[in-house]
Amino acid sequence: MNKYLAIAVASLWLLLAGVPVAWAAGPGPDPMKQPLSQSPYGMDVLGPAWQWTFPREDAWPRLKGRIRVDQLDELFQQTAAAGVRSVRMATWWCILEPERDHYDWEATDYAFQIASNYGIDIVPEIYYTPDWAAVNHNTGTDCVVSKVRNLPPINMEDWSDFMNEFTARYGVMGKNQVHAWEIWNEPDLYEFLYVPWDPGNANVTVYADLVKRARKAIDTYDPGSLLLMGAISDIYGPRFLSRLLDQRGPLDVRDTADVITFHVFSQHEPKIDKVMGAAGQSKAALWATEFNTSGSGESLDAASLAGLYDLAATKGISRTYWFKAFSSDWGPGIFVNRDPLWVPGPFVRSMFFNTFKAQVFPHTVAATPGTKQPVASQFVNLVPTFTWQRPNAGSYPIAGYKLQVENSLYQGKLYFHTPEIDVWVPATYTHFLPLQRKGKTTAAAVNIDAPHGAPAPASMAPAIAEMSYRPNKALAPGVYYWRVAAVDVNGNVGAYSAPIKFMAVAGQWRLYLPDLRR
C-alpha cells in the first residue's frame, strides 16, 4: 500500500476512534492553518468608533445606526488591493461594553470578519474606559463625547473581565481572528490616559497594571499571540517608556510585552533613536504603529517612501502601520480625504495608492478557482459537497483555499459578513477529513501530509487539481450562497469566485407543479 494512503487510512481510523493524532512536522508553516502574511507593511484604518472609515447608516453622531457593511467591504477590499495584509484598528472598550456585562460586538464582528475575508490580519488597539467603570464615573455621557473615557477604571477587575471576554471571542479559542493585541494608545498622553492621583509618575503604575492583566487574559484565551505595549507618542513617549521598564516587583513588565510600539511622523531617525535608547536591553520587537511623514502630500515619490522604509529596517523596526488610510496633515494616505469627514464613502484612491502598492506588494495573487458543484439554483442535501478546480498560481505557490457559505444579505446584497461556513482547505497532496467547530467560526479541514506550498517531492503525487470539501455539520434548510478563493503560501487571498446560489433541503427533494385548476 502506498505509504501516504496508509497514513491517511490509519489517521482516519484514529480520528473516528477519538484517539489524538500527532501530525508529523514538515518543513515550512503548518498546512493545517491558513498562512498569515509576514509582510512588514501594515496600515491604521482607525476603527468602528470613527465615522469616516467605518460609516454608520446615519451620518451623525458617529455611532448613530448600524455599521455600513457595504462600505466596510469596500474599505477592506481596496486596502487589500493596495498590498496591506495587517491593519491596526481602534476598538474602544467604552463602545464594546457600554453597560457592565452588556456587550455590543456587532460592528466589531462584521469588521473583523470582512477584513479576514481578504486575508487581512487584525491588530486591535484597545483603549478608553466606559463611563460606568471610570474613576469619577456616572456622568451619563455617550462614549464618543465622554469626558471620563481617558480615566482608568475604578476597579481593575472590570478591565480584567472585559479582556477575558474580548480575547475569548476573537482569539484562537473563539473566532481565531486576532493574533496580536495592542494595550491602549499613547498612554503617555493625558488625552488617552489620565490618572488624577499620579501626576508625578506619568501614569506608569496604572498602565503597568493594565498590561499585566491583559497578559493574563491573552495567555488564557489566546495563547501564543502577541501582546503589544500601547504605542507611545513622539512627545513624552521615550521618558514614559523608560519609567515603565524601570518598574520592579508585581508591576515589572520587562518580560510581559512581546512588542514595544511607538509613533513617528517627523524627524524620524532621531526620534526612533530616542525610543531605542529608552527600550534599552529589552528583548521585545519594535513596531511603529503610526508611521507617516507629516506635511507630505499625496505626491510623495517612490524613492522617498522607500527611503523611509529603509530607515525603519536599518533601525530594527520589524513592522510599520501607515497612518492613516486617508490623506491628512499627518501625511498621505491611500484614499483621498472627505469633507465633512462623517459623510459615507466612496473610498476614492489617492495619487499615493499606486506608490504605496508598488512598495509593499509588487506581486500578483492567485487566479480565481473554477467552481463545479453545487451549480446555480441547485437543490442539495443538508451536508453538501463543494468542488472546485485549482486555478493558476500568482507570484507564490498556492497553499490552500478559503471556502465560505453565507445565508445573510445586507441591504439585499452579499458581503459574507456572517458566514455559516468559513473554512481553510489545504491544497496538499492527499485527501482530507473535514472538521468544523460549532457556530459561525473559522475552522480548518484536516490534511495528512507535509510540504506547505513547496514543490512536491518525486515520491509524492502532484497537488490535487480538483478540490472538494464536505462539512461534518448539517446546514439548516434554506437558501445559501458559496464562494471560494485560492490563498498563497504568503497568506495572500486571491479573487473569490462569483457567489453561487443553492438550496439546502432535508430528505429527497421533489418537483412540485403548480395547481392549474383555478
In DSSP notation, 141-185 reads: --GGG-SSTTSPBSSHHHHHHHHHHHHHHHSTTTT--BSEEEEEE
pLDDT band at 143, cuts 50/70/90?
confident
User: Of 342, 360, 378, at which residue does a domain stop?
Assistant: 360
User: Which tops the pLDDT comparison, 203 or 342?
Assistant: 203
Per residue in 340-356, pLDDT (tens digit) is: 666 667 889 999 999 99
pLDDT computed for residue 425 by the predictor: 94
Residues 275 and 386 in one domain: no
pLDDT computed for residue 343 by the predictor: 66
pLDDT computed for residue 52 by the predictor: 64
**Cβ atoms 89, 46 nearer than 8 A:** yes
Residues 145 and 261 in one domain: yes
pLDDT computed for residue 8 by the predictor: 39
Residues 118 and 190 in one domain: yes
Residues 212 and 226 in one domain: yes
Q: Does pLDDT of 445 surpass 50?
A: no
Residues 227 and 239 in one domain: yes
pLDDT computed for residue 361 by the predictor: 97
Give the separation between CA 377 and CA 308, rounded to whole angstroms. 52
Residue 10 belongs to a domain: no
**C-alpha dihedral sign at 216, 217, 222, 225:** negative
Angle at 181 between CA 54 and CA 155, to 5 degrees: 95
Give the separation between CA 42 and CA 28, rounded to whole angstroms. 23
- What is residue 311's DSSP assignment? H
β-strand partners of 349:
335
User: Of 344, 360, 376, at which residue does a domain stop?
Assistant: 360
Q: What's the grid cell of residue 145?
A: 463625547
User: Which tops the pLDDT comparison, 381 or 344?
Assistant: 381
In three-state secondary structure terms, 347 is coil
Residue 172 belongs to a domain: yes
In three-state secondary structure terms, 270 is helix
* Average pLDDT score over residue span 428-441: 44
Residues 236 and 290 in one domain: yes
Mean pLDDT of the chain: 85
The b/e string for 137-161 (b: 16+ C-beta within 10 A; e otherwise) is: beeeeebbebebbbbbbeeeebbbb
Strands 421-426 and 398-406, how do they pair? antiparallel
pLDDT computed for residue 18 by the predictor: 35
* Average pLDDT score over residue span 13-24: 32
Residues 301 and 421 in one domain: no
Residue 17 belongs to a domain: no
Which whole-number Å values give the CA distances from 291 to 41, 266, 332, 341, 423, in the listed order? 10, 9, 11, 21, 34
CATH of the domain at 102: 3.20.20.80
Residues 351 and 374 in one domain: no
Residue 67 belongs to a domain: yes
Which whole-number Å values give the CA distances from 203 to 74, 304, 505, in the listed order? 39, 37, 59
Per residue in 304-342, pLDDT (tens digit) is: 999 999 999 999 999 999 998 988 888 999 999 876 666
Q: Residue 419 belongs to what domain range?
A: 364-504
pLDDT band at 481, cuts 50/70/90?
very high
Q: What's the grid cell of residue 167?
A: 480575547
Residues 62 and 160 in one domain: yes
Give the separation between CA 436 and CA 424, rounded to whole angstroms. 10
pTM passes above 0.85: yes
* Average pLDDT score over residue span 199-224: 93
Least confident of 239-243, 245-249, 459-463: 459-463
* Average pLDDT score over residue span 252-273: 96
Residue 509 belongs to a domain: no
pLDDT computed for residue 340 by the predictor: 63
